């Protein structure tokens, strides 16, 4: 009998998501590689083996046993698109929106993102760190074990880099795995000329991001950056070795998803509006569609991304909260799964794939996270349901009972 750290037993099913070592597309997204009455063996923070209770009986002597008691076990959720570091909240904008103003009206009037920028510039490193840490803890309690974090509420060197430094502190100190993205190209700040700002973004800013960010992202849309400006910034970022991401087609399709995919972007995010031609370019280049249904929901929009068309086109889909103070202040990947199923017509299985293995690939962590396969990091959750279909069925509540991070139980409810 082999001695190990942890044995997770008595799961209704263990969804291992075992499969090819890449993002899953089309029908593959519905294959969860479930083990009924499953057990997971964990040692030194890694998955050692998964199997049915019968297969695993008598093989391991564990220092700790976690009984799932007939509940569902799956990889921790990965949230690959968040704006986690900022100061202040924007609930005051809801009243204006409910009275008929659109998100873009509010932004054009100097509110929206600009309101958060004003408060974030005044916040110290410690203030930003404390608030972001609290948010990450809420995410962990909702089953998220890895998070991508973007800057974008500074829009000038000092604050942009302060946000990246906060994100990197979280990357070192946990509790979640973190990938850091520079989104200085969020909107043009009120106090700088457009040309000067784009020139900073495509040169000096990128040099300052070395060692601070892994990815560079641009918000290419009406009211933000043009296609030409976005391509200029992404090309310079690529030349400096950064991974690329893009906010594309949230309000208008400017052709950003296809352009970013042609440059080798790891993901194109939002895609409420995107043409079939661009989906074909994404498929060809392996660019993952990161869909953010919480933003459509919170903004009261009827325009959700067409996940069915993407699945049909063979584009791999990931889901994310887009956690931010203006268009989606939700910590819950479970809620995103519910929205993906009930508003976008995704199957529960496809939505689970999109929230685990595909989301891990969308933040460059597919080799380490997102499945329960031998050698992968032992990040797993126990949900108070018996089947994947019950996750979006019991929507709007937190189903998490246990969270295991790197083999340690960190949430126990």
Binding site for Zn ion (CB under 5 A): 322
Please report how close the Cβ of residue 81 comes to Zn ion at its closest, in angstroms: 6
Between 336 and 372, CB nearer to Zn ion: 336
Between 311 and 322, CB nearer to Zn ion: 322
Between 272 and 322, CB nearer to Zn ion: 322
360 is written with which tokens? 């891990």
**Cβ atoms within 10 A of the Cβ of 91, count?**
8
4: three-class secondary structure by DSSP: strand
Please report how close the Cβ of residue 14 comes to Zn ion at its closest, in angstroms: 32
Closest residue by Cα to residue 324 from 214, 217, 233, 191: 217
- Strands 34-43 and 46-52, by their bridges, are antiparallel
Q: Which long-range contacts (CB under 8 A, 24 or more apart) does 386-389 make?
A: 386/12, 386/13, 386/70, 386/71, 386/72, 387/12, 387/13, 387/72, 388/13, 388/15, 388/32, 388/34, 388/72, 388/74, 388/348, 388/349, 388/352, 389/348
Residue closest to Zn ion, measured at CB: 322
Report yes or no: 140 and 130 within 8 Å, Cβ to Cβ. Answer: no
Between 93 and 322, CB nearer to Zn ion: 322
Between 177 and 322, CB nearer to Zn ion: 322
Contacts of 394 by beta carbon, 8 Å cutoff, 6+ apart: 385
**Residue at token pair 């990450």:** 136
Please report how close the Cβ of residue 341 comes to Zn ion at its closest, in angstroms: 22
Between 253 and 322, CB nearer to Zn ion: 322
Please report how close the Cβ of residue 327 comes to Zn ion at its closest, in angstroms: 8
Please report how close the Cβ of residue 238 comes to Zn ion at its closest, in angstroms: 20
Please report how close the Cβ of residue 150 comes to Zn ion at its closest, in angstroms: 7
**Cβ atoms within 10 A of the Cβ of 282, count?**
28
Is the C-alpha dihedral spanning 391, 395, 399, 404 positive or negative?
A: positive
Please report how close the Cβ of residue 272 comes to Zn ion at its closest, in angstroms: 12
Report yes or no: 243 and 214 within 8 Å, Cβ to Cβ. Answer: yes
Please report how close the Cβ of residue 286 comes to Zn ion at its closest, in angstroms: 21
Rounded Cα gap, residues 156 and 335, in angstroms: 34
DSSP character string of 203-222: THHHHHHTTT-SEEEEEEST
- Compute CA distances 153 → 94, 116, 117, 189, whole Å: 19, 6, 5, 10
Between 354 and 378, CB nearer to Zn ion: 354
Between 224 and 338, CB nearer to Zn ion: 224
Rounded Cα gap, residues 354 and 362, in angstroms: 10
**Cβ atoms within 10 A of the Cβ of 106, count?**
20
Please report how close the Cβ of residue 364 comes to Zn ion at its closest, in angstroms: 17
**Residue at token pair 């973007």:** 150
The neighbouring-strand residues paired with 40 are 8, 50
Please report how close the Cβ of residue 95 comes to Zn ion at its closest, in angstroms: 23
């Amino acid at each position: 009998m082999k001695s190990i750290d942890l044995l997770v037993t008595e799961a209704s099913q263990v969804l291992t998501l075992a499969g090819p070592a890449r993002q899953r597309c089309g029908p593959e997204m519905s294959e969860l590689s479930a083990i009924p009455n499953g057990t997971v063996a964990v040692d030194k923070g890694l998955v050692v083996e998964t199997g049915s209770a019968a297969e695993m009986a008598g093989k391991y002597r564990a220092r700790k046993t976690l009984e799932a008691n007939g509940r569902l076990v799956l990889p921790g959720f990965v949230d690959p698109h968040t704006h986690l570091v900022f100061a202040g909240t924007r609930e005051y904008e809801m009243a204006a929106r409910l009275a008929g103003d659109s998100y873009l009206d509010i932004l054009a009037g100097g509110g929206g993102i600009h309101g958060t920028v004003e408060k974030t510039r005044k916040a110290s490193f410690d203030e930003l760190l404390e608030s972001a840490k609290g948010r990450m803890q809420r995410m962990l309690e909702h089953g998220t074990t890895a998070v991508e974090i973007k800057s974008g509420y500074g829009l000038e060197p000092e604050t942009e880099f302060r946000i990246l430094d906060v994100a990197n502190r979280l990357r070192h100190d946990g509790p979640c795995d973190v990938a850091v993205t520079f989104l200085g190209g969020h909107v043009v700040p009120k106090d700088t000329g457009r040309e000067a700002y784009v020139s900073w973004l495509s040169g000096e800013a990128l040099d300052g991001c070395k060692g601070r960010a892994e990815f560079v992202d641009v918000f290419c849309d009406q009211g933000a950056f043009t296609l030409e400006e976005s391509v200029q910034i992404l090309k310079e970022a690529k030349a400096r070795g950064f991974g690329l991401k893009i906010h594309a087609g949230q309000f208008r399709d400017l052709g950003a998803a296809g352009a970013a995919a042609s440059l080798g972007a790891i993901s194109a995010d939002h895609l409420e509006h995107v043409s079939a031609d661009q989906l074909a370019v994404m498929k060809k280049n392996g660019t993952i569609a990161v869909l953010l249904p919480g933003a459509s929901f919170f903004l009261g929009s009827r325009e959700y991304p067409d996940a069915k068309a993407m699945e049909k086109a063979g584009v791999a889909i990931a889901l994310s909260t887009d956690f931010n103070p203006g268009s989606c202040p939700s910590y819950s990947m479970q809620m995103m799964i519910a929205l993906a199923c009930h508003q976008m017509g995704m199957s529960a299985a496809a939505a689970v794939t999109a929230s685990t293995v595909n989301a891990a690939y969308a933040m460059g962590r597919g080799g380490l996270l997102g499945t329960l396969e031998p050698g992968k990091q032992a990040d797993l959750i126990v949900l108070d349901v018996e089947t994947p279909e019950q996750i979006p069925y019991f929507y709007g509540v937190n189903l998490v009972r246990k969270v295991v991070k790197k083999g340690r139980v960190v949430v126990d409810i």
